[in-house]
Amino acid sequence: MSDIPGDLKYTRSHEWVRLEEDGSVTIGITHHAQGSLGELVYVEVPDVGSELSPGEACAVVESVKAASDVYAPVEGVIVEVNDALADQPELINEQPYDDGWIMRFGEVNHDTLAELIDSDAYLASIEDE
Amino acid sequence: MGQRAQSSFFVCDGVNMMRTPLYEQHKAAGARLVDFAGWDMPVHYGSQIDEHHAVRRVAGMFDVSHMTVVDLSGIRVRDFLRHLLANDVAKLKTAGKALYTCMLNDEGCVIDDLIVYFRDDTHFRIVVNAATREKDLAWIEKHAKGYEAVVDERDDLAMVAVQGPRARELAATCLPAAGHDDVLALKPFNAVAIADYFVARTGYTGEDGFEIILPGEQAPDLWDSLARAGVVTCGLGARDTLRLEAGMNLYGQDMDENTSPLESGLGWTIAWEPADRDFIGRGALGRQKADGVANKFVGLVLEGRGVLRAHQKVLVDGVVVGETTSGTFSPTLERAIGLARVSKTIGDRCDVDIRGRQLPVLVVKPPFVRNGEIKVDIERRGERS
């Protein structure tokens, strides 16, 4: 059974989005996504300062069996990336919603936040797969 | 998130999937199942990397019942196989002896790779790939007619590979007691029939072990007893990383109907002598050999971080000199490794284009790993050529 925290927003392409108290927005991939990929062995993150649009491929997560793009769920500028993933890509398998976060946006376009789905809708979307 | 590149065998359509006699075992063990050539097969049972290490360090088992077992018989069956296969079954003189070979088309390119076992003067057994079953059977049937050979696909049989340094010892305890001495006495690339079991000291991992062919209805009991003996259940994911570390080719990826064995690191499997043996593809292959082959087949080790995949460009000084045919993350080397078809002139270093970035790789001679030991010098450093 997949772990889908109720306090996060999601995309149908398996990214999760957390609105932080300081207004920044943290992004990762879901528990379901890491389970489908299997053990991660390499993560490529975007450069800090990248300006991204929703749906833009901006990171790559590679397991033993496959490489997958991670898409920007919102519009905004990257202010921080998770450097720990370079040495420990398995953090995404172990703690996809915590230490396995991938990147953080500073200010984002709030209209694009409104396009995201909630945990119930995400659960429904993966049950349809 | 969306898929970008994957190992070629994870192709999904999900309809009318075939199941092996061990399907219930896989489900009960919590396997993640994928479509492999139309078969619902386990890719892993939790951790592909742990399964890989289990085979290198102790023993693991794989359900390879999707592979196609074909028995060939007839008075002229040896002559038939000497024509059909690029390696020469005349080398097989004792019952149970096995040979790895390619089956070529008239252009000297590879229809499939297979293992052929000599049983007696009128009986041979071959094991071919699952993904090539239909075309292989059609090709074999077509050529068998002239030799009055009988082609019998044994879809009643299952196949379990038990691989690893302790595989033979653990597997022997699960086989009929009367056969213990015989299976433990088997030399590499030999097989013996024990009651309903056909046990071969062969494999696709670079470790010692057995491949056991047996009636499908007996497979679940053997599987369960191997598990009780401490053999770790392994999926096809680990099988792929193990074979790649062992430098073993995967059909459809490292060679196919457009490449010859000479361009695929398989020149050693062609029996040129005796010169008067007329095997299919010999003419075209002989011409290619005489003209000189422009490509060679090499191993690659990525120096830094990242993962090699099939179909990445190989470059020297910014010029494309070839392409990767297989690539993965090697759990033993903890680096990305790959196989590539490249220009004969390549040196011991080159670059591989990964998503638009050229990353340095070492050119090595496979295997990368055999019998638990790393066989390539991955710490090699120096001036770039």
pLDDT digit string (tens) for B3-12? Answer: 766 544 444 4
Considering only CB atoms, which chain B residues are within 8 Å of A126?
none
Nearest to B49 among A14, A39, A60 (CB): A39
* C-alpha span between B47 and B348 (Å, rounded): 34
pLDDT digit string (tens) for B218-265? Answer: 999 999 999 999 999 999 999 999 999 999 999 999 999 999 999 999
Region for residue B286 given its phi and psi (left: phi exceeds 0; alpha: psi -120 to 50; beta: otherwise): alpha
pLDDT at B5: 61
Is B6 within 8 Å of A66 when comparing Cβ atoms? yes
- Nearest-Cα distance to chain A for B329, in Å, is 6
Distance of CA A92 to the CA centre of its chain: 10
- Substitution target in A65, A85, A92 with the highest count of B β-carbons within 10 Å is A65
* C-alpha span between B340 and A72 (Å, rounded): 34
* C-alpha span between A95 and A99 (Å, rounded): 6
Residue B336's SS3 state is strand
| CA angle (B335 as vertex; B5, B381 as ends), nearest 5 | 125
- Nearest-Cα distance to chain B for A58, in Å, is 10
The widest CA-to-CA distance across chain B, in whole angstroms, is 62
Provide the token pair at B128.
């071919």
Residue B161's SS3 state is strand
Is A67 within 8 Å of B3 when comparing Cβ atoms? yes
- Classify the C-alpha dihedral A63-A68-A74-A78 as positive or negative: positive
Is A86 within 8 Å of B305 when comparing Cβ atoms? yes
For residues B6-34, give the mean pLDDT.
78
Q: Is the model's pLDDT at B21 over the cut of 60?
A: yes
Considering only CB atoms, which chain B residues are within 8 Å of A62?
306-307, 329
Provide the token pair at B105.
């088309």
Region for residue B82 given its phi and psi (left: phi exceeds 0; alpha: psi -120 to 50; beta: otherwise): alpha
pLDDT at B9: 40
pLDDT at B6: 55
> B320 phi and psi, to 5 degrees?
-70, 125
- Substitution target in A41, A83, A85 with the highest count of B β-carbons within 10 Å is A41
Residues of B with CB under 8 A from a CB of A: 1-7, 10, 32, 43-44, 47-49, 237, 240-241, 305-307, 309, 328-329, 331, 336, 355
- Nearest-Cα distance to chain B for A23, in Å, is 24
Is A13 within 8 Å of B1 when comparing Cβ atoms? yes
CA distances to B107, B164, B351 from B284, rounded to whole Å, are: 5, 39, 33
Residue B346's SS3 state is coil
* C-alpha span between B364 and B307 (Å, rounded): 17
pLDDT at B218: 97
Region for residue A56 given its phi and psi (left: phi exceeds 0; alpha: psi -120 to 50; beta: otherwise): beta
Q: Which residue has the tokens 């593809």?
A: B281
The helix (run of H) or strand (run of E) holding residue B301 is: strand B295-302
Nearest to B49 among A33, A60, A64 (CB): A64
Considering only CB atoms, which chain B residues are within 8 Å of A41?
307, 329
Q: Report ipTM (2 d.p.).
A: 0.89
Strands (E), B92-146: 98-104, 110-120, 123-128
> B328 phi and psi, to 5 degrees?
-165, 180
For residues B103-129, give the mean pLDDT.
98
pLDDT at B378: 81
* C-alpha span between B101 and B130 (Å, rounded): 16
**Residues near B7 by beta carbon (within 8 Å), at least 6 away in sequence:** A65, A66, B237, B240, B310, B328
Considering only CB atoms, which chain B residues are within 8 Å of A61?
1
* C-alpha span between B74 and B80 (Å, rounded): 9
The amino acid at residue B87 is N
Contacts by residues B217-225 (CB-CB < 8 Å, ≥ 24 positions apart): B217/B21, B218/B158, B219/B20, B219/B21, B219/B22, B219/B63, B219/B65, B219/B158, B219/B160, B220/B21, B220/B22, B220/B24, B220/B25, B222/B160, B222/B174, B223/B22, B223/B25, B223/B61, B223/B63, B223/B160, B224/B25, B225/B174
pLDDT digit string (tens) for B120-154? Answer: 999 999 999 999 999 999 999 999 999 999 999 99
* C-alpha span between A32 and A51 (Å, rounded): 27
* C-alpha span between B55 and B227 (Å, rounded): 13
pLDDT at A113: 92
pLDDT digit string (tens) for B161-190? Answer: 999 999 999 999 999 999 999 999 999 999
- Domain annotation for chain B: domains and CATH numbers: 23-64+156-245 (3.30.1360.120), 294-385 (2.40.30.110)
* C-alpha span between A62 and B259 (Å, rounded): 29
* C-alpha span between B205 and B248 (Å, rounded): 8
CA distances to A84, A85, B21, B69, B200 from B159, rounded to whole Å, are: 43, 40, 10, 9, 11
pLDDT band of A2, cuts 50, 70, 90: confident
> A116 phi and psi, to 5 degrees?
-75, 160
pLDDT digit string (tens) for A40-85? Answer: 999 999 999 999 999 999 999 999 988 999 999 999 999 999 999 9
CATH number attached to the domain at A10-127: 2.40.50.100
* C-alpha span between B280 and B109 (Å, rounded): 10
Domain spans of chain A? 10-127
Is B307 within 8 Å of A57 when comparing Cβ atoms? no
pLDDT band of A107, cuts 50, 70, 90: confident
Nearest to A71 among B2, B307, B329 (CB): B2
The amino acid at residue B121 is D
For residues B179 and B164, the answer to whether their CB atoms sit within 8 Å is no
Query: For chain B, what is the mean pLDDT?
Result: 94
Q: Above pLDDT 90, what percent of chain B?
A: 93
For residues B322-331, give the mean pLDDT.
98
pLDDT at B217: 97
pLDDT at B286: 97
DSSP designation for B276: T
Alpha-carbon dihedral B17, B18, B24, B28, rounded to 10 degrees? -40
For residues A104 and A79, the answer to whether their CB atoms sit within 8 Å is yes
For residues B362-378, give the mean pLDDT.
95
Is B1 within 8 Å of A33 when comparing Cβ atoms? yes
Nearest to A68 among B3, B32, B336 (CB): B3
